Structure formats: C-alpha cells, structure tokens
Structure 1
Amino acid sequence: MSEQPNLGDCLRGLRKTHGWTLQEVSTLTGVAVSTLSKVENDQMSLSYDKLLQICEGLSIHVTELLSGDRKQPAAR
C-alpha cells in the first residue's frame, strides 16, 4: 500500500510550486495565515467548507489540491 500525501504536504507543495507565500494564499482565499500554517504543519485539519474556500480562492479543483501532483502550475 502506497503512502498517501496528507493535506498539509499537498497545500505546501502547491504553494511552493506557484511561489506563493502564506500571506498571499491567505489574501487570495480569505483563510487566516495562522490556519494555513497549522494545516501545513499537521496541527489542524480543515472543514470541507474551508477546503472549498481555499480551492475557490486559488482557482483550482479540490482534486488538484489533494492529489499531491505538482506537474505544472495553473495559469492565473
């Protein structure tokens, strides 16, 4: 059984791929920097609503965030 990426790793990977800071992601999504940081460090989980809020703010599909696949950034 292969190890699945966790949400924090996926969020950090997506953010780094796009060159976004935590503050930039916070501004785009309306989710607090402290919340994003805690998620990336596996100190908290996100509700489904917050997960959708992040995806909407970053103009990505939830599967792109959760896949852990960092092939290429989406055009913004």
Structure 2
Amino acid sequence: MDAALEQVGPRLRAARRARGWTLEVLAERSGTSASTISRLESGKRQASLELLLPLVRRLGIRIDDLLPGPPADPRVRRAPRRADGVLVAPLTLEDAPVQGFKLVLQPVAAPPEPRVHDGFEWVYVLSGRLRLELGGQEHLIEPGEAVEFDTRVPHAMSATAEGPAEVLSIFSPAGERMHTHGAG
C-alpha cells in the first residue's frame, strides 16, 4: 500500500478523537456504519472518496488533511550564533526532539561557573582539549573521546588555555536553552 494512503486511517482516527467523538457518534452523524469507520481507521478497508466525503464533511476537515504533505527539506539552515563567547552552530532542525550543535569554545584561564538543569548531555571532542568540570572534579577530554552526564550534576565546559576546542554536543531542549542561549 502507498505510504500516503497508510496515513489516512490514523489521521481520520485522530480527527475523530480530537472532537471527542466515538465511532458510533461519527457513524450516526455521517450515515456510515461504525464498523466501516473502524476498518478505515485500522487500515483494513481501503479508503475511497465515496467513503471519506461524508466523514470529512461531518468532521469539518478536508480530504487533504488526511494525507501527508510533501516531505520537508531535511537540510538544517540555522545560522551559527555566539552565546557566552562560544560559537554555536546548530546541527538539527529547530523542532527536533533532541538538539545537536557544534560548539567552538575559546581558550580560557579558568572554567565558567558550573550550571545545573534538567536533562542529559552527550559531548564528542573533535579538536582541542575540553575541560569538563563535573560534580567538583575536573576532567580533560581529548579529541576522539566522548562523555555523557546527567546535567542535574553541576557542570561547566571550556577549552583549556592551550587553544580552542571544537565539540559536538547533543542534549534535550532544556539543555539547549541553557547552553546555546547564554546564562541569562
């Protein structure tokens, strides 16, 4: 079956449930049997215009609402920005469930103040040396090494005084707000 047609049933079910209607309510209002609607929603009956028109009219939606739109452009076109002196280049779409960034941290003599927030963070060092202060202990992370930690533990990241560090960082939306928009 065509992938677009496979989505008709679940989208029909979602539209019905969004109105708080049972199968029986939609059946009564559309003049279609509850068993036919159930089979359409589960994909056990092929959708046709003859079956769908009375349903979409009663639901107040269009036939197009039951079909997926064209695939979105997968390219990430978000501009890099600076936050607390760190160059932040987004690697994921803005509405992605997890956020990925390439961070370029400049050398500093002392690490920033540790922060705490909800979530987990995963970091991979591309180049330079990363100073990770985690729970009061300092760790030097070399290129090719990765770390994972609970961000509810006080933590701070910076490049060592030797030079900049480039890292890939993946975290939840709470971590994204904390790390890429600055301390404010």
Question: Is the shorter-chain TM-score for this pair beyond 0.5, marking a shared fold?
Answer: yes
Q: Superposed, which structure 2 residues align to 1:21-60 within 5 Å?
A: 21-60=22-61
Percent identity (aligned): 32
Q: Return 5+ residue gaps in structure 1 as ranges.
A: 69-76
Q: CA deviation at 1:36?
A: 0.4
Q: CA RMSD in A?
A: 2.2
* Cα distance in 2 between the residues matched to 1:54 and 1:67: 18
Q: CA deviation at 1:4?
A: 7.8
Task: Say if 2:6 and 2:43, in contact at 8 Å, map to a contact too.
Answer: no
* Cα distance in 2 between the residues matched to 1:21 and 1:52: 18
1:42-76 deviation digits (Å, cap 9, x = unpaired): 111122121112112223222233359xxxxxxxx
* Cα distance in 1 between the residues matched to 2:68 and 2:17: 15
More displaced, 33-42 or 51-60?
Answer: 51-60
Task: Say if 1:9 and 1:40, in contact at 8 Å, map to a contact too.
Answer: yes
* Cα distance in 1 between the residues matched to 2:53 and 2:24: 18
* Cα distance in 2 between the residues matched to 1:13 and 1:44: 17
Task: Say if 1:11 and 1:65, in contact at 8 Å, map to a contact too.
Answer: yes
Task: Say if 1:28 and 1:58, in contact at 8 Å, map to a contact too.
Answer: no
Q: Pick closer, same or farther for the CA change 1:47–1:19 going to 2, 3 Å.
A: same
Task: Say if 2:5 and 2:67, in contact at 8 Å, map to a contact too.
Answer: no
Q: Return 5+ residue gaps in structure 2 as ranges.
A: 70-184
* Cα distance in 2 between the residues matched to 1:67 and 1:31: 24
* Cα distance in 2 between the residues matched to 1:23 and 1:4: 24
Aligned to 1:15: 16
Write the letter of the residue equivalent to 2:46: S
